[in-house]
Homo-oligomer: A and B are copies of this chain.
Amino acid sequence: MSKPDLLIHTAFKLFYEHGIHAVGINTILSETGVAKKTLYRHFGSKEALVEAVLIYRDQIFMDWLTSRMLAAGEGKVAILALFDALDDWFHDRVDVLLPFKGCFFIKANGEFSNHAVNALCQKHKQNITSFIQANLIDCSSELSVAELAQSISVLKEGAISQAYVAGDLDAAKRAKAMAVTLLD
């Protein structure tokens, strides 16, 4: 693995577990064994590294989620596969996402205000909602697909928060059941 990739991967792991402000540059350096000058050559600042980590996680998560949904099929089937995927995530059956510790973007968003980080987090959420919406175009419903996609997103966000903060690891199953009735 290249030095930048190693730094991003390790930084994510530490940020995800302990929070961004709680993890210093020196911790990332000692964890990776990379020299400080190397880090600052590739990333001009800690903030630049944080943004790279957000982009990295967005790619990992979106690739995983979209492949899970596409593998299941189209339309309603794909939406239900989303909640099955979440259930696997909550129960640590998805190696590529690392052990479940909530949504990294919700956490990161909460540590900043009026910052580039917030924009990246919002964009990540919009990307997911857009993909959900794309899977709903041929779904029969009296609601507009845009609003339906946002309702599905509410269920998805609720499952993640409920699973993490309250420790309700079966939250995705509950969300799925509500999604079923919503899509009928």
Q: Which residue of B lies closest to A159 (CB)?
A: B154
Q: Which residue of B lies closest to A109 (CB)?
A: B165
B17 touches A113 (CB 8 A): yes
Q: In the complex this chain forms, how many copies of it are found?
A: 2
Q: Which residue of B lies closest to A184 (CB)?
A: B181
What CA separation (Å) do A156 and B125 show in the bound complex?
18
Q: Is the interface of A mostly helix, strand, loop or mixed?
A: helix
> Which listed residue (B17, B111, B113, B166) contacts A125, Cβ 8 A?
B166
Within 8 A of B (CB), among A118-139: 121-122, 125-126, 129
> Which listed residue (B154, B160, B165, B174) contacts A121, Cβ 8 A?
B165
Question: What is A's interface to B at a CB cutoff of 8 Å?
Answer: 17-19, 21-22, 101-103, 105-107, 109-113, 121-122, 125-126, 129, 147, 150-151, 153-162, 164-168, 171, 174-175, 177-178, 181-182
